[in-house]
Chain A
Amino acid sequence: MEFLSKYYEIASAVLFVIGFATLLFSKNLIKKIIGFNIMDTSVYLFLAVKGYIEGRKAPIITDGVQSVSAYINPIPSGLVLTGIVVSVSVTALMLSMTCVLYARYKTLDLDRILIYANKEES
């Protein structure tokens, strides 16, 4: 049952699948964006968990403790921050496109939007 003790990793895997499926299968644009965010966040959870070692602190020297074993590696946290910036900008772009499409077609359903748009072109 050692497998079950890794509940953070399991949670992030489950979240990843949920997000991925929502992004792929949902027809609603807002739900797609939510799915994308869940997917990315699950990866950040995974990175953060893997980067944390129990009992150690963030690598900011306090009280003069300079031993390496007192601190965690800052790179995973740095990666999470970079990743968050990336997903925020992508989310903003997706939301702006959704706004424009909603203003034009008054619906968030991607299938319907495509049908309307095809009608317009032809």
Chain B
Amino acid sequence: MEFIKNFPFFSIMVAMLGAVVCSVLKGRAAKYVSFFATGVIFLLSLSTLVYTCVTESSFVYWMGHFPAPWGNEIRAGQTECMTATAFSFIILLIIVGGARYTERATDRSKQNYFYILTGLLTGALLALVYTNDLFTAYVFIEINTIAACGFIMIRRTGKSIASAIQYMTMSLLGSGLVLIGITLLYTITGHLLMENIHDSIKALGASGEYRVPLLVVIGLITVGLAIKSGLYPFHMWIPDAYSHSFPTSSALLSGLASKGYIFLLIKIYYRVIGVDSILGSHVLTIVFICGLIAMLMGSVHALGQNDIRRMCAFCSVSHIGYIFMCIGLGTEAGMSAALLHLYMHAFTKPMLFLAMAGIASVSPKHELSAEQKEEAKKDPLSLESQSGEGVFTATTIELDAFDSYKYKDIKGAGKRNPFAAFTFLVGSFSMVGIPLFAGFSSKLYIAMAATGTESGIKFWAVMLTLALSTILMVGYFFRVVIRLYQDSDLALVEKRNRPEYIFSLSLFIAANVFIGLFSGYIIQILESGIKMFG
């Protein structure tokens, strides 16, 4: 059984190798390689999860078998393995379900780029989840950012590149803060591995030295990672980034790219700084308040959107707020509720984005004006077209113009594409929190975590905000759902979805119901995993 301890390392390497191999393959072959690699990663993570759950232990893996001060370390416990399993499963489903949109949105010769990015994102996410070394975490934060940026700009329209640059700017501010935070921590403690830092922070706490610098470090790392995951005052990049990339990449971005940072933040709180020092500072209170505001403001903004993708992007802002609010509670129950909500959002949001793509594909077709076609043809975006080698075709822009996500165009789509509309219905039920679906159980655990806090103000604040934001969510999701099932005067041509699309979305629905029904077991595993963090 010793061999199983290699699996976390193998899964990171498989993801990275898959990305490298994809770079020399053509589109379809790259898809299969990427699918195969992610499948292998899923199996590896699952077996590690089973191993850690059965033995109820966690282990530290020395990279290259070099002991502590020289080598780099990976740590895998129940929480990490569960997160890695969930992430790889979601990526697998997105690759399968979104294959059609990937083919459509990219040139045939460049389809493998998408799968390179997927491999990089998978590797970076897994490394963020497993790592036991802060500087490695920083490097993979940057790799994650670069991959996410690639996903946004892959459509290569002006707007998508402009939003990629906005995303990059915000992200770089965040990673700059994280970097200076890690550097300060390193100069104070002299270590980079999480356990060693934790020990010296304990010693410092006992002697009362370096109180202010430590507070600064906690603040810098928290703010940095909050910017990168899009907590409320720093959420400006989210709507543009999610709504101007094509469906598969919006699914990956919204579901996963920002979740790795949140997991890392929780891990840093528990394994590096220690809960006691965190609770002693007031950083968590600020996180809590920002989370509360995000829960409300995200929903309020979402109400005013007339593009369903932007609506879902603002919904993400509000759900990131939920997660940070739970972290801000500062209790163990709060952390496991945060992680459960993270899984729920990671499973539901990609499903919604893929379902919306199906809905939009049956919306009324708007022909491009002759002017726009001309514009699309001489698209100066591609530098290649200027040098004369390979012309960037008008396909992307033309195809995009056919798929309308506008609120006015989705009327009656539930009859033209029943499956996609049904999936959207399930997704919105889950987001709102109807029993049986994942969203309900995660909101239940959030409320239960709130009852466990000592301060009455926090309890009431959570309850009121939870209720208010749920009502708002009902408002904007059911508005769309009702619109989907209205009668429209368009001809009823039922659209046939591809089998892999149906397969992947069905699995998403099943996973949602699974989390909804068996959340007790998941919470149990998470709680024992978080206990082992300390």
Q: A residues within 8 Å of B by Cβ?
A: 16, 19-20, 23-24, 29, 32, 36, 39-40, 43, 46-47, 50, 75-76, 79, 82-83, 86, 89-90, 93-94, 97-101, 103-105, 110, 113-114, 116-118, 120-121
Selected contact of A36 from candidates B164, B176, B192, B383, CB within 8 Å: B176
Query: Residues of A contacting B166 with CB < 8 Å?
Result: 110, 114
Q: Is there an interface contact between A50 and B165, defined as CB atoms closer than 8 Å?
A: no
Query: Residues of A contacting B172 with CB < 8 Å?
Result: 23, 36, 39, 90
> With A82-B135, A94-B165 as given contacts, are A118 and B176 in contact (CB-CB < 8 Å)?
no
Query: Residues of B contacting A39 with CB < 8 Å?
Result: 172, 176
B161 within 8 A of A: yes
Tell me which residues from 17 to 61 in chain B have a Cβ below 8 Å from any Cβ of chain A: none
Closest CB pairs A-B (n = 10): A117-B159, A117-B158, A50-B187, A117-B162, A86-B142, A39-B176, A121-B159, A104-B380, A36-B172, A113-B162
> With A23-B169, A104-B380 as given contacts, are A110 and B162 in contact (CB-CB < 8 Å)?
yes
> With A40-B176, A82-B135 as given contacts, are A32 and B158 in contact (CB-CB < 8 Å)?
no
- Using a Cβ cutoff of 8 Å, how many contacts connect chains A and B? 98
Closest to B170 in A: A24
Contact with A along B178-221 (1 / 0, CB 8 A): 01100100110000100000000000000000000000000000
Write 27 A-B pairs (CB below 8 A) sorted by A numbering: A16-B180, A19-B176, A20-B176, A23-B172, A23-B176, A24-B169, A43-B180, A46-B187, A79-B135, A83-B138, A83-B179, A90-B142, A90-B168, A93-B146, A93-B168, A94-B165, A97-B153, A97-B161, A97-B164, A98-B165, A100-B383, A101-B165, A103-B381, A103-B383, A117-B157, A118-B159, A121-B157
Q: Is the interface of B mostly helix, strand, loop or mixed?
A: helix
Q: Is there an interface contact between B146 and A100, defined as CB atoms closer than 8 Å?
A: no
B386 within 8 A of A: yes
Closest to B187 in A: A50
Q: Is there an interface contact between B158 and A116, defined as CB atoms closer than 8 Å?
A: yes
> With A97-B164, A117-B158 as given contacts, are A46 and B183 in contact (CB-CB < 8 Å)?
yes
Size category of the B interface is 20 to 34
A94 to B162, CA, bound (A): 11
Query: Residues of B contacting A24 with CB < 8 Å?
Result: 169, 173
B139 within 8 A of A: yes
A29 to B168, CA, bound (A): 11
A107 to B510, CA, bound (A): 49
Query: Residues of A contacting B176 with CB < 8 Å?
Result: 16, 19-20, 23, 36, 39-40, 43
> With A20-B176, A97-B168, A99-B383 as given contacts, are A75 and B162 in contact (CB-CB < 8 Å)?
no
| B440 CB → nearest A CB, Å | 36
Closest to A105 in B: B158
A19 to B179, CA, bound (A): 14
Additional pairs, 12, CB under 8 Å, beyond known A76-B186, A79-B186, A100-B161: A23-B176, A24-B169, A43-B179, A82-B139, A83-B138, A90-B145, A93-B168, A101-B161, A114-B166, A117-B157, A117-B158, A120-B158
A29 to B165, CA, bound (A): 9
> With A23-B176, A79-B135 as given contacts, are A103 and B380 in contact (CB-CB < 8 Å)?
yes
